[in-house]
Amino acid sequence: MSKKILLITPPYHCGVLESAGTWMPLGMVYVAGSLQNAGYEVRIYDAMSKFHTFDDIKNYIKRSHPDAVGTAAYTSSLYDAVAVLRIAKEVNPGIITLLGGIHPAFCWEEILQKDGNAVDYIIRGEGEITTTELLDYIFSGKHPDLPGIAFARDGKITCTVDRPLIKDLDSLPTAWNLIEWKDYTFKTKKNSTLAVVSSSRGCTQKCTFCSQRLFWKEKWRARSPENFVSELEYLNNTYGVDVAMIADETPTFDRKRWERILDLLIEKKLDLELLMETRVDDILRDKDIINKYTKAGILHIYVGAESASQDTLNRYHKNLRIEQSKEAIDIINNAGIISETSFVLGMPDETPESIEAAQKLAQYYNPDLAFFLAIAPWPYSDIYPELAPYIEEFDYSKYNLIEPIVRPSNMTREELNRHLLRAFREFYMDKLGRIEEMSEFKKNYMIDVTKLLIEDSYLSSQMKGKMPQKVREFIDKYVLKIKS
């Protein structure tokens, strides 16, 4: 009889990602695929997307009788992830508990010191091979002497050597059959079915505030264009997926490969729209083929502007000039694609004036969407030593890019938060005041986005407050009409 493995998402919410759509746990899809191939009976329980409680999770574990429970965490979801594993131990102390994800990959020692009674093993790095091998070892009674794990035994914490990165991404199986597709939708497209997909892994850039480049060891690996587009075609034909978010940090890194992906998508004529992020310089590089982006179904592109200060960009090691962001966003806008950017603010030398400068710069850039985020000092990031003296909040659940963690020299965190929210408000009030200048497609998109911001996001109070008469008329005419 095969062993039962239950993968559970921690029920963490902060009012950001869930406002735009319901996003499936792609990492678990990959890990589950490898476990299925090895003969395990696997379930994915996406408690986060279902907005389930810890009581719901406990009852689900009781009903499922798993032999092992695994979850994953980024910094702000860590406490909830550990709570899931603690609940599993309460249901049955014999359940093997596994924890993966970016934060545990680096902060394994802290976690095991504090919560080693709930967390049996930490998966460090890519989880597909490590998780499968680890469970094979455990269930065959062998000592788990394999790369890429950490664990505590008899008061001693052990961390094994790093596991090499997986070379052939095309070979990785995926457990799309375990997904409850009705749960996943992109909210600006009614009745849509949303997938999260990956065409490559990693980033070669050196941004000091980022977690991804460290996790992927500053390497970039890719699936073949044929393999990736074949998966999109399969999801479209088999499950009715009509929106897919490419989860890669830089899917466009290799121009030749990326153009081949676009050409294949154009050739296939799939009923599918794509959301993606990439780098400003890749958009500048691709301005001669931006028409292929639109023909291939690229709906929405995010690029990170990050700061209104060239000095700050240089401190971030962003390898970007301010004027390049404007040019890239213009290229995206002129192609009729939804443009989005963000500014990471709240450094120790931040002032109300510098935040206002970021807001003014965002208006000048003129993306369709812009977000003004509070820098989160990931404890393993390169920028952490610089920020450490200014950190006032040590509750990891608040490290979500919304709530200020760092106190600038010239402001309290409360003042910083007010200025960030004001920047957001001023940007969108200006944007909505000029909505009649937009194309019909972008106008309708902004109507849907505004509705989501008002009803479903952490920014809702800012969108409902006092606003210019022109914007109020827009809200009454379009958004409230939709709501009713």
Distance, in Å, from the CA atom of 420 to the CA atom of 438, rounded to the nearest integer, reads 26
Beta-bridge partners for 220 = 202
Tell me if 171 is assigned to some domain.
Answer: no
pLDDT at 276: 96
pLDDT at 104: 95
Mean pLDDT of the 20-47 span: 95
Tell me if 221 is assigned to some domain.
Answer: yes
Say whether pLDDT at 245 is over 50.
yes
Query: Do 110 and 10 belong to one domain?
Result: yes
Length of the chain measured in residues:
484
355 contacts 220 by C-beta, under 8 angstroms = no
Say whether pLDDT at 477 is over 70.
no
Distance, in Å, from the CA atom of 389 to the CA atom of 381, rounded to the nearest integer, reads 15
- 133-142, 150-159, 243-252, 425-434, range with the lowest pLDDT: 425-434
Query: Do 141 and 240 belong to one domain?
Result: no
Say whether pLDDT at 106 is over 50.
yes
Mean pLDDT of the 193-215 span: 79
Query: Do 334 and 278 belong to one domain?
Result: yes
Q: What is the pLDDT confidence band of residue 132, given thresholds at 50, 70 and 90?
A: very high
Q: What is the pLDDT confidence band of residue 482, given thresholds at 50, 70 and 90?
A: very low
* Phi, psi (deg, nearest 5) at residue 154: 55, 45
Query: Do 54 and 92 belong to one domain?
Result: yes
Domain boundary among 408, 428, 448: 428
Mean pLDDT of the 190-205 span: 90
Per-residue pLDDT of 91-103, as tens digits, reads 999 999 999 999 9
Tell me if 471 is assigned to some domain.
Answer: no
CA dist 250 to 17, 60, 116, 222, Å? 19, 37, 35, 10
Per-residue pLDDT of 299-338, as tens digits, reads 999 997 755 566 665 555 555 666 788 899 999 999 999 9
pLDDT at 317: 56
Of 375, 476, 470, 479, the residue nearest 429 (C-alpha): 470
pLDDT at 128: 97
Say whether pLDDT at 484 is over 50.
no
Say whether pLDDT at 17 is over 80.
no
Query: Do 214 and 350 belong to one domain?
Result: yes
Tell me if 113 is assigned to some domain.
Answer: yes
Query: Do 197 and 148 belong to one domain?
Result: no
Distance, in Å, from the CA atom of 274 to the CA atom of 244, rounded to the nearest integer, reads 5
pLDDT at 210: 62
Sequence-ordered list of residues with C-beta below 8 angstroms from that of 458, at least 6 positions apart, any chain: 14, 15, 16, 19, 402
Sequence-ordered list of residues with C-beta below 8 angstroms from that of 307, at least 6 positions apart, any chain: 313, 316, 318, 343, 344, 345, 358
Tell me if 301 is assigned to some domain.
Answer: yes
pLDDT at 308: 54
Domain boundary among 428, 443, 467: 428
Mean pLDDT of the 282-296 span: 97
Distance, in Å, from the CA atom of 346 to the CA atom of 326, rounded to the nearest integer, reads 22
Tell me if 475 is assigned to some domain.
Answer: no
Distance, in Å, from the CA atom of 95 to the CA atom of 472, rounded to the nearest integer, reads 55
Q: What is the pLDDT confidence band of residue 462, given thresholds at 50, 70 and 90?
A: low
Query: Do 149 and 215 belong to one domain?
Result: no
Query: Do 32 and 132 belong to one domain?
Result: yes
- 11-15, 86-90, 219-223, 398-402, range with the lowest pLDDT: 11-15
Query: Do 62 and 113 belong to one domain?
Result: yes
Say whether pLDDT at 392 is over 70.
yes
Query: Do 153 and 28 belong to one domain?
Result: yes
Number of domains the chain is built from: 2
Query: Do 409 and 307 belong to one domain?
Result: yes
Tell me if 29 is assigned to some domain.
Answer: yes
Domain containing residue 117:
4-159
CATH number at residue 51: 3.40.50.2300
Mean pLDDT of the 189-208 span: 86
Average pLDDT of every residue of the chain: 89
Encoded tokens for 335: 């192609």
Per-residue pLDDT of 442-459, as tens digits, reads 988 888 887 777 776 666
Sequence-ordered list of residues with C-beta below 8 angstroms from that of 68, at least 6 positions apart, any chain: 3, 4, 5, 6, 95, 96, 97, 98, 135, 138
Mean pLDDT of the 201-228 span: 79
Query: Do 120 and 268 belong to one domain?
Result: no
pLDDT at 203: 78
CATH number at residue 298: 3.20.20.70
pLDDT at 468: 56
* Percentage of the chain exceeding pLDDT 70: 87
Say whether pLDDT at 200 is over 60.
yes
Domain boundary among 380, 404, 428: 428
What pTM does this model have? 0.91
Tell me if 18 is assigned to some domain.
Answer: yes
